[in-house]
A and B are shown apart, each in its own frame.
Chain A
Amino acid sequence: MTTNRNEGDTIASNEATPDESSALATQATGTTRRKFLQASTAIAGTAMLGGISRSYAAKGPIHVASMFDVTGGLSIYGLPEMNVSRMAIQHINKNGGVLGRQVKLHEYDTQSKIELYSRYAQEIGVNDDISIVVGCITGASREAARPILSKNNKLLFFPSVDEGGECDKFTFMQGSDILQMETPLIDWAVKNAGNKFYVVAADYIYGHVATAWTKTLVAQAGGTIEGVEFIPLDVSDFGSTIRKIQSAKPTVIMSNLVGGNHMAFYRQFAAAGLNRNIAIVSPSFGLANEQLVLAPEETDGIVVAYSYFETLPYPENKAFVSAYRRAYPDAGPLMDLPAQVWNGWHQWKMAVEAAGTTEIHQVVAAMESGIPFNGPSGRILMDGTSHRNIQDINLAQVNDKREYQILDIQRQVQPATTVPGSESCDLLGKDKNSHRMIMPNI
Chain B
Amino acid sequence: MDEIIVIALSALTSIAILMLTSLGLAVIFGLMRIVNMAHGEFLMIGAFTTTVAVRIGELSIWLAILCAPVVCALVGAFVELAFIRPLYGRRLIDTLLVTSGLSLILYQIAINVFGTASPGIGTPPGFAEIGSYTVSYYSLFLPVVTVLLTALLYALFKWTRYGLLARAASDNPDMASVLGVEVRRVNLSTFVLGCALAGLGGGLISPMVAVSPGVGQSYVGQAFMTVVTGGPAFLLGTLSASALLGGIANIVSQMFTTLWGLTALLVTAIILVRLLPRGLSGNWSRQL
Binding site for B on A (CB under 8 A): 71, 73, 75-76, 79, 203, 229-232, 234-237, 239-244, 246-247, 260-261, 263-264, 267-268, 270-274, 288-290, 292-295, 297-298, 330-332, 402
Contact = CB atoms under 8 A, between A and B. Distances in A.
A144 B225 CA distance: 31
Contacts of A332: 115-117
B208 A264 contact: yes
A402 B117 CA distance: 13
Given A79-B116, A239-B14, 6 more contacts: A76-B116, A242-B10, A267-B208, A272-B127, A273-B127, A293-B118
Interface of B: 3, 6-7, 10-11, 13-14, 17, 108, 111, 115-123, 125, 127, 132-136, 138-139, 207-212, 214-215, 217-218, 250, 253-254, 257-259, 261-262
Contact of B210 (A264, A270, A272): A264
Given A264-B208, A272-B127, A273-B134, A73 B214 contact: yes
Contact of B211 (A229, A246, A293): A293
Given A71-B111, A237-B14, A246-B132, A267 B257 contact: no
Given A272-B127, A289-B117, A243 B211 contact: no
27 contacts: A76-B212, A203-B259, A236-B209, A236-B210, A237-B250, A239-B253, A240-B254, A240-B258, A260-B212, A261-B209, A261-B210, A264-B209, A267-B120, A267-B123, A267-B208, A268-B123, A268-B139, A268-B208, A271-B127, A272-B136, A274-B134, A288-B116, A288-B117, A292-B119, A294-B120, A294-B122, A295-B120
A235 B258 contact: yes
Contact of A292 (B118, B121, B217, B253): B118
B122 A295 contact: yes
A229, A241, A260, A332 — most chain B CB neighbours (10 Å): A260
Contacts of B261: 240
Contacts of B211: 293
B117 A246 contact: no
Nearest to B255: A240
B238 to A, nearest CB: 18
A244 to B, nearest CB: 7
A267 B134 contact: no
A109 to B, nearest CB: 12
Contacts of A203: 258-259
A145 to B, nearest CB: 22
A153 B212 CA distance: 39
Given A267-B208, A268-B208, A273-B136, A230 B258 contact: yes
Nearest to A80: B116
Contacts of A289: 117
A229 B218 CA distance: 20
B210 A243 contact: no
Contacts of A244: 254
Contacts of B215: 236, 260
A71 B115 CA distance: 11
Contacts of A288: 116-117
Contacts of B11: 239
A297 B118 CA distance: 16
Contacts of B136: 268, 271-273
Contact of A272 (B108, B117, B135, B253): B135
A222 to B, nearest CB: 26
Contacts of A273: 127, 134, 136
Nearest to A330: B115
B6 A267 contact: no
Nearest to B256: A240
Contacts of B10: 239-240, 242-243
